[in-house]
Structure 1
Amino acid sequence: MRGEDLIGQARTGTGKTLGFGVPLLHRLQVPGDGTPQALVVVPTRELCLQVTRDLADAGRHLGVRTVAVYGGRPYEEQIAALRNGVDVVIGTPGRLLDLAEQRQLVLGKIRGLVLDEADEMLDLGFLPDIERILRMVPEQRQTMLFSATMPGPVLTLARTFMTRPTHIRAEQADESAVHERTRQLIYRAHAMDKTELIARALQANNRGLTMIFSRTKRQAQKLADELTERGFAAGAVHGDLGQGAREKALRAFRSGKIDILVATDVAARGIDVAGVTHVINLQCPDDEKTYVHRIGRTGRAGREGVAITLVDWDDEPRWKLISDTLGLDKPVPLETYSTSPHLFTDLDIPEDATGRLPLSKRTRPGLDAEPEADEAKRRRRRRRTRGGADQRSGEAESGARQDSDAETRPARRRRRRRTRGGVEIGVQQPEASAASGEADAGERPRRRRRRRRGTGTGEAAGDPGSTRSSAEGA
């Protein structure tokens, strides 16, 4: 709150977002001149959207303008939001640099800078981008760096770009990195039996939302498709999907249309979804940091959770290293199959559960029930332009439209019958007389209006004599 530089370290799920967000919003000058005053840098697009939503909710009654800047979306929307004026910018390093180099994003008045999940940004290779961003912002600023783990490169970055930072750790030094309320189950499973095992584990009593993490993008999509075929409401989030599909799956997961989200580590950082009771690791995580962040999706904010890790035979040494580093005292996974009695006992699975979800329990609408982000806009745009008028107009406007139709519809019918096949069909009898010529003359203003709309040729619309002669010839 005093504006000093800060390093914040706490376990995942303890509220770091509002830990830096509330002081950041408190120090803003509102209303501002539209130039960004605060910048929050995050490693992933999903975390960018979540932080934006949290800060927008926190600053709703302050009049604070926030905007999310991330890849996978058109530049035009984000540039328009920046030009309209903004106080807080939340973004990923790549898109932030692109807009800054295009001079669409002005960083010269940044008074508060936050690096969220800094260790993950270093793991993803963002260190050069972070350093370029730090050189673009003013030297007189408050810099806050937050992360669940603090490896050496993060501390080196802090010493380089921060001024006498205060290091705050929000737990005891000897406290475990994993929440005590998260029950951890480690099984040694065969690769060909994992899908069947997971399908039965997903039928455990009192299971809520579930996140399943896989090592590769292909495995994530394959497992999501297999679970959907077995009757579960599942979706996938991984790097091969477009940004719209990733956001759609996360929206469906948050709203409860699906209760299973299969993801790579792109969703392991900072994603906070209420009601996640189970986390399943399809394979052994690469290291202890990945393991901590994955299972940190459950057991958040004082709630209880279950974390299941399926270890292959050749990954046992890796798991033993993770167990020893975190002090889990579970170096040897228990050999488990989809029919093992202890699996049903540990997870409270009904004895009659099979590898397919019964029809009576398929109550969630599924991923297809979640509309695309831009679908509603496209529908409204089509309604506005169909026929040149808004299809949702009021009664008065519809009455005027009916009057207009009453005037023009008969003329359109006659025009179509005259021009079909180049021969007049039954519009005017061959015994047309001078009276019909007078009627045609009376209709000339209407034909002149049709000619202005461009629905026919000048000869067909304007010369009644040519029409009569063609009728007589026919």
Structure 2
Amino acid sequence: MTEIAAETIDVDEVETPPEQTFADLGVAEPIVAALADSGITTPFPIQALTLPVALTGADIIGQAKTGTGKTLGFGIPLLQRAVGPDEGAARIEGRAPQALVVVPTRELAQQVAEDLRTASTKRNLSIITIYGGKDFDPQIAALKSGVDVVVGTPGRLLDLYGRRVLRLDSVNTAVFDEADEMLDLGFLPDVERIVDALPAHRQTMLFSATMPGPVISLARRYMNRPTHIRAQDPDDHTKTAKNTTQYVYRAHAMDKSEMVARMLQAEGRGRTIIFARTKRTADRLAEELVDRGFTARPLHGDLNQQMRERALKAFRENKVDVLVATDVAARGIDIDDVTHVVNYQCPDDEKTYVHRIGRTGRAGQSGIAVTFVDWDDMPRWRLINKALDLDFDEPAETYSTSPHFFEDLRIPAGTKGRLRRRRPVAGQDGDAEASRGGRGRRRSGEGRGDSRRSGGGRTDSERASTRDGGAGEDRPRRRRRRTRGGKPQGRASRSEGGREG
């Protein structure tokens, strides 16, 4: 595609009037009503800045910190532009999608689609998700039945486009969410192929928490005079969310699991995400926390899609309140009430750090981010600290018994790293059953041992009969003779009776 010159306009955040509503920004009544039904009435700053421009059909580069409400910033305009059938009318079979949202991960695809469905409950629009890890057939059937909005990951979108199942010729709004993460995951070639397949006349919106060089180049190539909107609080000069309180401790690797277990008992601790660098560490830590009495589950790339969805569902429904995740698997987790994020292992770089702690302090809520830095990771941490202008160049040496650790995180005095659990009553659980079975097996073994020691349970007369039979003419055959009450039975009885007669 021929490079298009881009004119970037920076828009700084202005104070949003408290009485401002979505209707004041030009949002259609059905969408306003649908949002109100879900308790969403006041726009966040990025939404208040984006909607007036996006609703005109202009291309937009939206830049805001993670967890600030970017989804509705692009979701409302694309829903408003989509033309669906009238309420109660049948959908047209095989109609091509009018809007496309490209995201880097499956979890983010599900979250974005859910937010779009929430905003479109008053409209007759079909919204589907397309991502890998699931069978093609249901996704192909959904596309053939006709859809209005498609939310998907680059790889699966290209697979279905290559099969000529996914049509992109009718797309009038294309959104690329978390563009910097897509670049980090190596999706840039796939994104370029998707953009080349879109119509030349369309609205393009690109949203990203950071704007590295490749993202700017992508915008300049494929966007037409985009407006660059940066939602920045005038009083917030940090590069991380101001609602998140950060703590950094220099911790020993052998003590970190104990520190985590004690931190999980802090006052006000709710849903918690713990980030590990490797899948093995995530599995091991989750297993150890369960053994300590906590409800925890791992989340990483080795789990299949169904297992990952079950883990996230349990986390959202509070059946599990601790998620131990790797970076790739946790990208796109958007749960508002995560109170704590723990960097169990030091992140690789500043972007990973921002992404991790951005899972808490979302949607205007407050959160706590705790980072453990091993001695070997200090050079890496100093680079992160410098890049983000943080004030933790020399983290305090901290152990699970350190007073400042308890004070910082509001951990009750005397807290240990293991929850007290009720002692099982014998006969009421599987362990008691197993112990009873073990005793039964030992009794059986003793019986077998006694049988072997006593000659297989035979009587004295039987053993004597065997010895007598062995001394006669049948000795080479060494047949076992049947007896009853010490008297021979069967054929042996008849032969002996004959000799007696």
**What is the TM-score of this pair, normalised by structure 2?**
0.70
Structure 1 equivalent of residue 40 of structure 2: none
Aligned with residue 406 of structure 2, among 344, 352, 364:
344
SS of alignment partner, residue 332 of structure 1: coil
Look up the equivalent residue of 1:232 and give its one-letter code: F
What does residue 141 of structure 1 align with? 202
Instruction: Give the distance between the partners of 1:270 and 1:124, measured in 2 at CA.
Output: 13
Aligned residue identity for 1:141: R
Distance 1:279 1:41 in 2: 27
Match of 2:41 in 1: none
The counterpart of 2:246, out of the listed 168, 176, 184, is 184
Check if 1:301 corresponds to 2:301.
no
Q: Which amino acid aligns with 1:39?
A: L
Q: In the alignment, what sits opposite 1:355?
A: 417
Note the C-alpha offset of 1:337.
1.1
Please state if 1:85 is matched with 2:146. Answer: yes
Determine which of 231, 245, 263 is the counterpart of 1:170: 231
- Determine the C-alpha separation between the residues in 1 that align with 2:182 and 2:271: 27
The aligned residue for residue 273 of structure 1 is: 335
Could you say what secondary structure the match of 1:192 adopts? coil
* 1:205-284 paired onto structure 2 within 5 Å: 205-284=267-346
Aligned residue for 2:328, secondary structure, equals: helix
**Residue ranges of structure 2 left out of the alignment (5+ in a row):** 1-54, 86-90, 423-501
What corresponds to 2:71 in structure 1? 17
Rounded Cα–Cα distance in structure 1 between residues aligned with 2:150 and 2:98 = 8
Deviates further, 169-178 or 222-231: 169-178
What amino acid does structure 2 have at the position aligned with 1:64? L
Letter in 2 for 1:120: E
Tell me the CA shift for residue 325 of structure 1: 1.6
Matched, 1:196 2:269: no
Match of 1:29 among 83, 89, 94: 83
- Whole-angstrom distance in 2 between the partners of 1:296 and 1:171: 15
Q: Which moved more, 1:253-262 or 1:348-357?
A: 348-357
Match of 2:127 in 1: 66
Query: 5+ residue gaps in structure 1?
Result: 361-474
Contact 1:211/1:263, CA 8 A, preserved across alignment: yes
Pairs aligned (count): 360
SS of 2:346's equivalent in the other structure is coil
> Residue 211 of structure 1 contacts residue 262 of structure 1 at CA under 8 Å; is this kept in 2?
yes
1:52 aligns with 2:113: yes
TM-superposed deviation, 1:270:
3.3
| SS state at 2:266 partner | coil
Alpha-carbon distance, 1:172 to partner: 5.1
2-side partners of 1:301 and 1:48: how far apart? 19
The answer as to whether partners of 1:12 and 1:270 remain within 8 angstroms in 2 is no
Counterpart code for 1:276: V
Please provide the CA RMSD for this pair. 1.3
User: Which of 40, 43, 61 is matched with 1:7 structurally?
Assistant: 61
Q: State the alpha-carbon separation in 1 of the partners of residues 161 and 277 from structure 2.
A: 34
Counterpart in 1 of 2:102?
41
Could you tell me whether the CA contact under 8 Å between 1:268 and 1:293 is conserved in 2?
A: no
| Separation in 1, partners of 2:377, 2:83 | 53
Does structure 1 conserve the Cα–Cα contact (< 8 Å) formed by 2:336 and 2:361? no
Cα pair 2:64 2:232 within 8 Å, conserved: yes
Bigger fraction of residues in helix: 1
C-alpha distance in 2 between matches for 1:301 and 1:355: 32
Report the counterpart of residue 347 of structure 2 in structure 1.
Answer: 285
Secondary structure of 1:60's counterpart equals coil
Give the conservation status (yes or no) of the 8 Å contact 2:301–2:329: no
Q: Contact conserved, 1:35 with 1:86, CA < 8 A, in 2? A: yes
1:57-114 superposed Cα distances (whole Å, 9 cap, x missing partner): 1111111110000000000111111111110000000000000000111111111000
Cα drift, residue 175 of structure 1: 2.4
Mapped to 2, the partners of 1:301 and 1:327 lie a distance apart of 23
| Contact preservation (8 Å) 1:210, 1:259 | yes
| Structure 1 runs (4+) greater than 3 angstroms displaced | 267-270
Secondary structure at the aligned position of 1:303 is classed as coil
Identical columns (%) = 63
**What is the one-letter code of the residue matched to 1:6?**
I
Q: 2:296·2:324 contact (CA, 8 Å) conserved in 1? A: yes
Q: Does residue 75 in structure 1 map to residue 117 in structure 2?
A: no
Question: Are 2:379 and 1:317 equivalent residues in the alignment?
Answer: yes
User: Structure 1: how far apart are the matches of 2:390 and 2:60?
Assistant: 31
SS at match of 1:324: helix
Q: How do 1:438-449 and structure 2 match up within 5 A?
A: none
- Contact 1:99-1:105 at 8 Å conserved across structures: yes
Q: Does the aligned pair in 2 maintain the 1:116–1:146 contact within 8 Å?
A: yes
State the alpha-carbon separation in 1 of the partners of residues 415 and 237 from structure 2. 38
Aligned to 1:391: none
| Cα drift, residue 326 of structure 1 | 1.3
Aligned residue among 112, 130, 136 for 2:173: 112
- Equivalent AA in structure 2 for residue 217 of structure 1: K
> How far has the Cα of 1:181 moved from its partner?
2.1
Secondary structure in 2 matching 1:359: coil
Asked if the contact 2:336–2:363 (Cα under 8 Å) also holds between the matched residues in 1, the reply is: no
Tell me, yes or no, if the aligned pair for 1:277 and 1:304 is still in contact at 8 Å: yes
